[in-house]
Chain A
Amino acid sequence: MNAPPTTANEELFAYPQDRACPWQPSPGYQDLGRRGPLHRVRLWDGRTIWMVTGHTQARRLLADPRMSADRSRDDFPAVLPRLDAPIFKPIAIIGFDPPVHDVHRRLLAPDFSLKHVRAVRPQVEELARRLAADMLRAGPPVDLVQAYALPIPSMVISELLGVPYEDHEFFEAKTVGLLQAKSAEDAERAGRELWDYLDGLITRKEREPGGSGVLSRLAGQVTEDGDLTREDLLRIALALLIGGHDTTSQMIALGVVTLLEHPDQLAALRADPGALPAAIDELLRLVSITDVSGVRVATEDIEIDGEVIRAGEGVLVSSSMTNRDPAVFPRPYEFDVHRTVGDNAASGRQHLTFGFGIHQCLGQNLARMELEVAFSVLFEEIPGLRLGTPLEALPTRSGGTMQGVHTLPVEW
């Protein structure tokens, strides 16, 4: 249908490609999206996988039990060189199929439930106000990433896990080292340092039971022949620490950029604070910070839309493009904070920024709350906020899938 199977491998679309605008998918993906829902693309190692840009197809594939998320399988595609690092091969929860996936996810579910998240919201509000006050005191220009976007999710996840926030510079730097590494070796090195750090931390928690946080609670449940081994716990700690702050901090940063570059939308939001939750979902849809909803490998032949995904073939679901499927989102490239407003609280939440199926983001309730607090406090406390550099000059991340900026200079 799109790229005929006879196309020479070298002529296939090379994945990934950098964005030209911080909140819009790369022009190349936009082209693909116009051609149809399923495409064959070529990865850095020459391997061909499927890229899904259609919303219906994405939902079907991500909910299909014949699609495996098991990163330790030989046929699982490494979308970037860094993902070839051994530390990523059995990454907890996200990289496991049932039954192990479900057992671990259920161990964590209580700490990420909507109720729990609502209960910690006041503390996050206090934190955001303190950070905004510090910014005002320091005066412009300020790097919003270091001063605000990163400390919020970083403190929240340290508190939740029971990781000492004093160590934040270390774990933030190593997380960036792991997630932005250009080679498997660099990723492995940063990952191992985090691993050793968490190993030491869990040892301390084992010696002094009764501490606060998820890791202390789980340390008390470890059994070498049961559902949670010590190695499982370490892998879970690593996945939550990494997953918990980089995505959310970059979503705050690019969300602020998107709002500042759409003054009419920001004004509309200011005039109607009740629209904030829906506006957050619209920002999540538009920015699609991870750019990817999920990567899988087919364990059986799967027929879809007249194509056959063969057993052993890799599949990558694009969030930035499925979030722009015109069948689901009219005027898909437009940022419209009122798109999702309506009687139905769930309308417009069809975006696939948090994935779909059993791996849909465990931290989504937490992330939504952090984003709500971050945007509302920031624009309330610093109403005159503006970019400190022209949009074109923003130091954006490149060469990967995870979007973001290295720094975000702002003034007021």
Chain B
Amino acid sequence: MWVSADRERCISGGRCMAATSEVFDQDEDGIVVVLTSNPAPEQEDRVRKAAYLCPSRAIRIGDGPAGG
């Protein structure tokens, strides 16, 4: 699985980081930072959840190793 986040769309509620802080972080401005674009298999459910919960649809996910 790959994951990416659009920092321009992010409105910084931190839902993603609350879902899993292993994959998402927030910078000093509260804007999302993706810590790893290829999350470990056991993180995948949480990453999917984060994408679902993200209120600004800033998180993109897909199958395979790299983001498109």
Task: Report A's interface with B, CB cutoff 8 A.
Answer: 63, 102, 105-106, 109-110, 112-116, 343-347, 349-350, 354-358, 360-362, 364-365
Q: Report yes or no: B20 in contact with A345, Cβ–Cβ below 8 A.
A: yes
Question: Which one of B28, B53, B57 lies within 8 Å of A346 (CB-CB)?
Answer: B53
Contacting A at CB under 8 A, from B2-46, are 11-15, 17-20, 26, 28-31, 45-46
Which of A112, A344, A349 contacts B45, CB < 8 Å? A344
A105-B29 Cα distance, complex, nearest whole Å: 11
Cβ–Cβ < 8 Å partners of A354 in chain B:
13
* Residue on A nearest B28 in the bound complex, by CB: A110
Contact partner, B49, options A115, A116, A344, A362, Cβ 8 Å:
A344
CB distance from A227 to the nearest CB of B (A): 14
> CA A114 – CA B20 in complex, angstroms?
13
The one of A102, A109, A360 in contact with B55, judged by C-beta atoms closer than 8 angstroms, is: A360
Nearest chain A residue, comparing its CB with the CB of B16: A346
CA distance A357 to B19 in the complex (A): 17
Whether A63 and B57, one on each chain, are in contact in the complex, defined by CB atoms closer than 8 angstroms, is yes
Chain B: how many interface residues by the 8 Å CB criterion?
Answer: 23
Contact at A358–B56, with CB atoms within 8 Å? Answer: yes
Can you give 5 A-B contacts (C-beta < 8 A)? A113-B26, A113-B29, A345-B18, A350-B53, A361-B13
The reply to whether A106 and B18 form a contact with Cβ atoms under 8 Å apart is no
A63–B13 Cα distance when bound, in Å, is 15
How far is it, in angstroms, between the C-alpha of A116 and the C-alpha of B14 when the chains are bound?
11
Closest residue to A102 on the B side, CB-wise?
Answer: B11
How long is the Cα–Cα vector from A364 to B55 in the complex, in angstroms? 12
Q: In the complex the two chains form, is A109's CB within 8 Å of B46's CB? A: no
The answer to the question of B59 belonging to the interface, with a C-beta cut-off of 8 Å to chain A, is no
List residues of chain A with CB within 8 A of the CB of B57: 63
- A residues less than 8 Å from B52 (CB atoms): 350
Q: Is A346's CB under 8 angstroms from B11's CB?
A: no
Would B30 and A346 count as touching, CB distance under 8 A? no
**A277 CB to nearest B CB, Å:** 9
Q: Establish whether residues B46 and A345, one from each chain, have CB atoms under 8 Å apart when the complex forms.
A: yes
Q: A344-B46, A356-B55, A360-B55 are in contact. Are A106 and B12 (CB under 8 A)?
A: yes
**Contacting pair A112 B12 (CB below 8 A):** yes
Closest A residue by C-beta to B58: A358
Give, as a whole number of angstroms, the nearest-CB distance from B45 to chain A: 6
- Taking a contact as CB atoms under 8 Å apart, the answer to whether B12 and A346 are in contact is no
How many angstroms from the CA of A297 to the CA of B52 in the assembled complex?
Answer: 24
Distance in angstroms between the alpha carbons of A350 and B57 in the assembled complex: 14
Residues of A within 8 A of B14 (CB): 113-114, 365
Docked-complex contact A105 and B11, CB < 8 angstroms: yes
Q: Which one, A110, A356, A360, A361, contacts B30 given CB within 8 A?
A: A110
